[in-house]
Amino acid sequence: MSGLFSPGCAGSAAEEATGDLAFLQALLDAEAALTRAQAAVGLAPSEAAAAVTRAAADATRFDTRGIALRAREGGNPVIPLVADLTAVVPADAAPYVHRGATSQDILDTALMLVAARTLDPLLTDLSRTERALARLASRHRDTVLPGRTLTQHAVPTTFGLKAAGWRSLVLDARDRVAGVRAALPVQLGGAAGTLAAFQAYGGGEPGVPGERGVQGLVAAFARELALVEPLLPWHTLRTPVADLAAALAFTAGALGKAAVDVATLSRTEIGELSEGSGGGSSAMPHKANPVRATLITAAARRAPALAATLLGSLAAEDERPTGAWHAEWEPLRDLLRLAGGAARDAAEMTEGLRVHPDVMREHLDLTGGLIVSERLVAVFTPLLGRALAKRLLGEAARRTRVEGRTLAEVLGEILADFGESLSDEAAPEEAAPEGVAPEGVDLAALVALCDPTRLSDLTDPTRYTGSAGTLTDRALERR
């Protein structure tokens, strides 16, 4: 595969680890390891194991395309591969190639090998991404920008908290992938998951003890490949594949969250972020597109459907299924490539990300202070009551938008007029105690709020970030 239409994984470690030749080598590695494992427990001569291992060491000596075409006859590539491998080993070793195994044993084990070889560099790239985001979160702990909900300015937040949130998702992905990587098992069960053929080849002795017995064969097979010994054959118990699918899809989505934020904040009319080396256009020389973010987002959009196919294969009939197993191969490879490529691109995107605090600061003022209206509700409600505070602030917001002035200016006028009206309405004989307006309104406090400096402070977006700094610090404590 040339990768012409998969730039997100082209040239990545995931692409190399999941190519046809890599899969073929994994199949050969599984076959060789099985023969060595049988030799280790006395079910094959050590000379045969060495001969099979030598023959299986280089996948390039086998015709990958020919095996693929011949796989149509039996429905999987293991059958023609076993024939080709048997043909190139010495005659005395030939009977021990694939002995006792079924095709699914070898292919499932090869899938786990390919997954392991893909997840290791993927985890390295997630670590790169995590470290880059930790640096961004620390550096911009107190860099304020508009928080946005439903595409509109909501309340101020900090870029440090946003980057810390991205990092938290990356760490969640890392934990899931690391857990799956540590649990990847070999597959060995024989024709129907009973290991009967291995026992038969061993002389039919069900009570052969310890490492020399058939039960020790699975453990030896796992050791040979540095994979995990499963409790049971999992021909139709597809937990390993389902867990792998879920972890990969989550990883693509977690990285996708950061990517869509970067792409949005890189818009020309926003410009709060930009990729370190944006991509060009075939027609517009001025373009600097957020290409890394684009490729990660594409992976995040494709991954869930692929994972759904793999999860759907959990419903596999009998001891070996028709179709459910076969349906897994391509989606799993695609998922490994997508997640691996996205992790590579995320590391590059975050390591080169440029933050523009001056633009963020400008955007905080776009609404003239309305971005902190939530704060003013909290300030005015105890003084005026909920209904009156809402009416007064609603009028202030309307005038701010219509008149193109700041909320502080408009609110100062409204408060002054409101205070005067309260004083005028109070008849001398009905006057309340000094400093307190009728109906419990704290007139003195309202008068104090009319001070321009006080209103400026109340409507300053940089003074209303809540616990963003503390939350960022807490998030960065996670290792």
**3-class DSSP state for residue 111?**
helix
The active-site residue out of 281, 421, 423, 467 is 281
Residue type, 109: T
Q: How many CA atoms lie within 13 A of 227 on its CB side?
A: 29
Any idea of the CA torsion for 100, 68, 14, 55, to the nearest 10 degrees? 50
The H or E element spanning position 153 is: strand 152-158
Tokens of 297: 């987002």
C-alpha span between 304 and 19 (Å, rounded): 22
Given the residues 320, 333, 337, 375, select the one marked as catalytic.
320
Nearest in space to 213 (alpha carbons), one of 44, 32, 46, 43: 43
In this structure, the chain runs to a length of: 479
Please report which residue ranges of 207-290 form alpha helices under DSSP H: 215-225, 239-265
Q: Is 281 a known active-site residue?
A: yes
The CA distance from 352 to 274, in Å, is 9
Segments in 285-440 forming alpha helices (H): 291-312, 329-351, 357-364, 373-384, 386-403, 407-425
DSSP H helical segments within 274-328, as ranges? 291-312
The pairing of beta strand 144-149 with beta strand 354-355: unpaired
Among residues 201, 178, 185, 181, the alpha carbon closest in space to that of 38 is found at 201
CA atoms within 13 Å, Cβ hemisphere of 277: 3
How far is it, in rounded angstroms, from Cα 110 to Cα 118? 12
Task: Identify whether the C-beta of residue 132 lies closer than 8 Å to the C-beta of residue 351.
Answer: yes
User: Known catalytic residue: 6?
Assistant: no
For residue 164, count other CB atoms closer than 10 A to its CB.
Answer: 25
Q: Report the catalytic residues.
A: 281, 320
